[in-house]
Structure 1
Amino acid sequence: MAATAAIDNFHNSVRTLAQTKRIRVTEFFQDFDKLRSGFVTGPQFSRCLWQTLGLQLSPEQEALVKKHYDVKGDGQIKYTLFCDIIDQNFNARDLARNPENQTVPPPEFLGTVRTVRPLSPQSERRLIQLLKHIEQFYCYHGINLRTCYEDFDRHHMGVVTESQFYRSFPGPPDVSEADMTLLVRKYRDPLKTGLLNYLNLHHDIVAIGEQFAKEKELIESPNTQVDSTPVMIPTDPDLNTIFEKIRVAVFKNGIRTTEFFKDHDKLRSGIITENQFVCGLALAVGKEAQLSRAEIQKVVEYYRQPDGRVKYKEFCDIMENAFTIPDLEKKPLQNVVRPVKGALSRGLHPLTAAEENRIQEIICQISDNVRRRRLMMYPYFKDYDRGIAYTRVVTPTQFGRILHFLSLNVAPEDLKLLLRKFEDPATGDVNYPAFVQAVDQEFVGHTMDDADLSQKGRTNTPVKEVPATATDSNVSYENLMSRIRHIVLTNRLRVAEFFEDYDPLRSGSISKSQFRRGLGLLGLSKLGTHDMTEGQYKLLCDVYQNPQKEDQCLWTRFLWDVETVFTQPNLEKDPEICVPPQEIFRAPKPGTMDWGYASDDHKSLYDATMDRLRQRSDQRRVLAKPVFQDFDRHNNGHVTKSQFRQCLTMLELHCTEPEMIALEAKFCNDVGFNYLAFLSELQPEAPPQFMYETRLEEIRQTNQRKTLPELNAQKDLEGVLLKVKTKVCRERMRVLEFMRDYDKLRSGRMLKTSFRRALDLCRFELRESEVSILEDRYQSVQDIDYVDYLRFCDEVESIFTTKELEKRPLEDVIQFKPPEEWERNNLPADQQNRFRACMERLSEKVRKHQMQLFPLFEDYDRVHNGTVSRSQFRRVLTELELGGLVSQQDFELLWQQFDVKIGGKDDVNYIAFCDMIYKLANFEARKP
């Protein structure tokens, strides 16, 4: 017994640690058992427990493990047997046992242990009664003991001190000091002095609550004989009549009677005072059920207690379960009592005999007027009924207004009589369906009885359905499959996705109901693209029926027959087979006429009609499609026949009746008139040209052309370097930064292709010949495919400073100044004198009149770059009255001399022009 207790204690401690850390010990032992033999050595067993659970075995525990799990006697420990016990011995393959019975829940939580000090039998009984009392108190008040102590348990160890336990104990208040001492003695932690294990107390209370719930469920189980009605209904006939009125009013108006009483019952005891019950009942159903004071008092007398209070809960249970049974899902064999036929309908108010006779005369007069004028009265009343789901009543004022609108004039006294007869007793409004049914013999309202229905030839007897067969199909199998293939092709559907979920074993066969369901998902239903009838479905079932199982269909055969629109099966085995084009599987709309079977007279009439309409359409340049689209609300390319005739009339394309019949026979189907096909014949569009091959040929010819001649290219090295230095000086860039990335070894050399690429990155915009000049000048001596880019960079950066200037401190450095672009413009020698004479004429007039040139030029220079266009230059000179001194040839010379390139466009540098004019006029700089 001692060895059994020791091994059980060892198992419990290991199991508690494993569940605390959420660890499955089996997975760690398998790392030492590569062959999955189920055995490990003793040191491996101890090492695994130490590494995973932090549990170091004592010599006594090692001997205990070896004694119980060394089944072979060779020192090998059978860890699988140990893991089955630790992992709660749950076997997923054992279907004979309940999984809940296979688990061994640990009594402790988070590694805590209970005290081993036993209590006396009397104290144990007192403790159980105390825990039951505490559980009932906590359940009623919604108290959770665990949350009361979590603020003190900062490390979530499940323990608090005794003072903290006393301080935060949530009750109940009638627990004495002796009971608290008993709880402290029971739940004191034996390993941690001064601490109490409140988590074990919490779990014991939860376990007692679960036991109470199971006992209550056992008592209220469906196997026990329980009365279907919660409360006995009284036998008094008058009281039963009152209750029936209340139940009907509650059911019709959807009243929750409990809501009118529970505000008076703060403790939810089910009992309130008599005055509170009377007020709640009158407020809930007093008006709807037409209850008098005496009837309410009779209900109060029935549910009154000896102390004068009323048990409203029993009354509400009967009213809330009107025409149903509570917890009906647990009692499927119970018969629900349905309301009497006509009990839920609105009854008419009874009148005296004289008044009833007068009502009949009024109704007969109105009925004759309605029948003679063929009035439909119900829609007029319904327009005023704007309540949710139609309340089927209107106000008396609206009732009189509608009668006056329909010219059914009634005397005021007769109108009051009608209102009293058809008045709703609950709301005071008028029941217009009953009135319409009384005066209109053709109107069938919802308040008519079966007797009236049988008089009109209508009965509720169900019609016996005749089972459909394959012969009931109105189309053949080939036509049906062509329609299905067309739907699959046009919508690009994957047929297998709609059936394979019903065939988890991939047997290729499913039941007929599943086959029908898959067809519906595919779109072959009333809500889909094709309404498949029962006969068509039976036809498919007969064709694809499984010969081995009559209640199943071979959906894979159907799949291959349909998906032939995309490809052929097993195409990889016969690569030379010719796959038919997809266009042959496109089927016309159902109901389309086969034009091949039409008569010659019909075809000739159609051709003559289309020729005449096409001729008139071309002459008048009619845009016909928008007219048809205005009638095509669903955008399906179809309109009705009457709409087609109306469209032709609007377009002034008139046809005779035989011509119209010929057109309708050609383009009509079950959907309507296919106006898109008609317009394609009436106004055919030119087919789009496929220009892909043409564009490829143009590109090929373009690439074969010779290189275009270079414009404004420098012919010598000095000109190229000047162009580069000017660009570098103006944009303040370092060429070396763009070059060194292509020289990883810093050898000072780089490939000519890389040199070209670096120049492109610098955006020098050099021509091909200019780059070649630079390559020839800085070509490497060692390898002709390389360029000494460092020499090029030193030459370019010499515009800023001289290299190694620190070694020559007395050398004078000359700053590079980029020349103005217009200064490099050289006029021919024979034009120099003409240009000089033009400038002198302009300067002479400017000097005489002291004219300002800059302001007008600056008005056109929006970006302030010192340039204007040639047209703007001429316009400014004209505004300054200088244009008369300059001929067209002189303008050409001025443009050529002061020309600058701005964005590839030739502009005029007006600043240089003005400075030259001022200089010739002997003005100070910028001061005429």
Structure 2
Amino acid sequence: MVAAAVDKVEETVRTLCLTKRLRPSEFFIDYDRLRSGYVTDSQFFRCLWMNLGLKFSPQEEQLIKQKYDIKRNGRICWKQFSNLIETSFAATNFKTDPALQKVEPLEFLGTQRTIRPLSPASEKKVEETLRKMVEFYKYHGINLRTCYEDFDFHHIGKITESQFYRAFPGPPDVDEAEITRLVKKYGDPNEPGLVVYLNLHHDLVAVGDNMAAQQLNLNSTCAKTDYIPNEKVEDPSVQQIFDKIRIAVFKHGIRTPEFFKDHDRLRSGIVTENQFLCGLSLAVGKEAQLSRHDMQKIVNFYKTSDGRVQYKEFCDMMENAFNIPDLDKKATLTPVHPKEGSLNRTIPTLSDAEESRLKTVLSMIINQVNERRIMMYQYFKDYDRSCAYTRVITPLQFRRMLHFLTINVTDEDFKLLCRKFIDQATGDVNYPAFVQSIDDKFVGFTIDSPPAVDFSTAIPGTDGGRVTLSETAVKPMYPDLSSVPKCDISEVDMSSLIARVRHHVLTNRLRVIEYFQDFDGLRTGSITKSQFRRALSSLGLSKLGHHDLIDPQYAVLCQYYEDPKAKDKVQWVKFMNDVESVFTQPNLEKVPEHKVPPSEIFRIPKPGTMDWTYASDEHKQLVDETLQRLRERADQRRVLLKPVFQDFDRHNNGHITRQQFRQALTMLELHTTPDEMSALEAKYCNDTGFNYMIFLSELMPQEPLQFMYLERLKGLRKANEGKNLPEIDAKSDLEDLLLKIKTKVVKDRVRVHEWLRDYDKLRSGRMHKISFRRALGLCKFELKESEYALLEDKFASHVPDHVEWVRFSDEVESIFTIKELEKAPLLEVEQFKPPVDWQMNQLSDEDASLCLEALKRLAEKVRQRRMQLYPLFEDFDRVHNGFVGASQFKRVLMELELWSLISEQEANLITERFQVKKGLRHDVDYPAFCDFIYELCKFEWRKP
């Protein structure tokens, strides 16, 4: 009794030290200055209290003193106590296995898993869940402890249940019931609502080590039993052995004489028995899977009386496998071909129990493949990337691809699949055979039925006679798994199904004909049922689309729209007309008075939505009062509700789970009672989740946007009714206008003819005035209304409201050359030179003389000081276009100390003399001003 109590105290200390990763000896040694291994009892218990937080009762302290007070002098041997706590096994005990001496606490945190243990069935389910988690975490490299440490701020190995649910890292096939079972098992009984995730982590590590040990033992067992002969296999006949060799030679293109003739130096066609066995093993031993017993049978068949073997006859038969020698001389003979499938890799036959279990496993995989409509061959083929497609992959690649396709099988079932579909020559997995066994639409290879044409081969016997060997019947390669149970369509409502399809088409604005017409090349209005299913899937009615169309619903559609002339086809045109009635009615032009119903009546709520019209008055009143109270609370706090809900909506479909809805209300401090929460969930929940968008629209309604288009249109019309603004700088003379256009054409290199001819499709040489103005507007001539009128009057056509655009184009393009110049070879053409902009500025005689005098005074000072005018002007010319503003021009003159030489009036005249219009402003052409000053100074060109 005393020993048990002391062991319990030691177990508590050991658990706490292991949890905190502490060594008690490091604390006791500070009190033992002489390193005697003893401290006083007060020092001993003080050290445990201060460092480990352990406060023992007087009874427990007395028990520890009795055990560790060895000398009975009131001093406790702390070294012995520390060795017992820290040491896992005795280093001097060589008779006992250290693994058996190891003492480890059951729980790292010193807690029990639950006050009421789980039932054996629940414990078994938890163990299965842990195994799935271990496989998933090992493949993805996930550490459960790391996933939950961010929530454990105090590093005590515990988190709340909501945090456990929120950060659960998978696997995805663990449902909510299994997670709840884990919470129940690893919940802390002393602190309800907390989960000890650290215990779960260490249990996962223990389960993983156990699985690895079992796998290691299984591999060692398999490695030991691989070479044990199977006594149940019947002794194959000589014919079967020759068939295997013939197929291997034909399939791999083996030249059998190459392996024997090196042993026959005299080319006598005979070798010794050992030489024949060596050559046969090198030639087809691995490819034909020949055992020692099989090769001995062939040796006995060709052995002569002196003990040697006639290899020449064997090679002649193998060289002519599935062929007839000298076939060109025997035109009437037909060589026998190998049966279809016989050249493929064969599949081994397992025991009856294994075949039964294999059929069950394949049935399960077939159901998953059919539900998800997976084309598996392409996934396995991606791993077959060697020199050529070998049609085999390694077992590890086979396992990875099954996991990638989320086809989870147990380890024993996976090994059974590998044994069934193994390639005996390479040891890899024959993946086309596996795919063909689970997909009836995939044909990797076929094999003839048993009553096939027999191909016989004459083999020379030892007595000179002929022995005929017939091929045995071929056993079917795959189990019969083609039977599929029929769907129960009694619970499918056709009207609801069509309404759901119409809602899907209306919401996504889909044209149904685009998804079906490609399958109906002859436009018969009917397609096969498989094509109908594929078209519906493309339309979005599949598991990957917006609406999952299950098999019973598909069967009801096929039955309703079945073609009476062909039972295996569906009238897709009729289906299209019924569905697209949500947009409009066919042949509406024949019934102009028919009123088309609005499209909104075809919109239906999501499945699972409650019909609020049938709700009770108490329920409606409770929801209204709850919304009013939450609305007042939200208005008072001025919070944005939608962003909080959107954070939980990872798929952006306007729905969240009920738990997330409650969390969002808690975060927004919008508290509700359980009855109010149940009422809100009953109104806004459906099969997808909680529709928070409708909830927010009713909780915080917003005013609809006003339709301002008509008012804006009235304002524009009223603005356009006003008088036109006066024209600025409009040319009143036709010659000046043409000069303006020609100058623009020369500077911008505009081909007027290219812009005008596009509006004269008939090449008549004339166009309407509106088109003429539009074309000139594209040329960017920036003409005013009066200028357009001058051009239209000048080049008016005899057709009313038309302009002779060819004459206008010839007039403008005459600046480059003269039309039909080849008819006047002696005519001299002068190149048009556009006038300089600043030279077109005209001043009065008095102003011109005053301006010239001012420029001369400036030039005199520039000449005397040899000033550089360009650099300062270029500093203000940021775009380097040769122009500066009037104020910038004045500032440069001040910097050059030239401003004092002229008056304000003279400065304005100089600015007016060299100003050029650029856009809507007038700038100064400073290169012209500088050149003019340099010219007055008699400077050399560009050398002031």
TM-score of the superposition, structure 2-length normalised?
0.43
Tell me which structure has the larger Cα radius of gyration: 1
TM-score of the superposition, structure 1-length normalised?
0.43
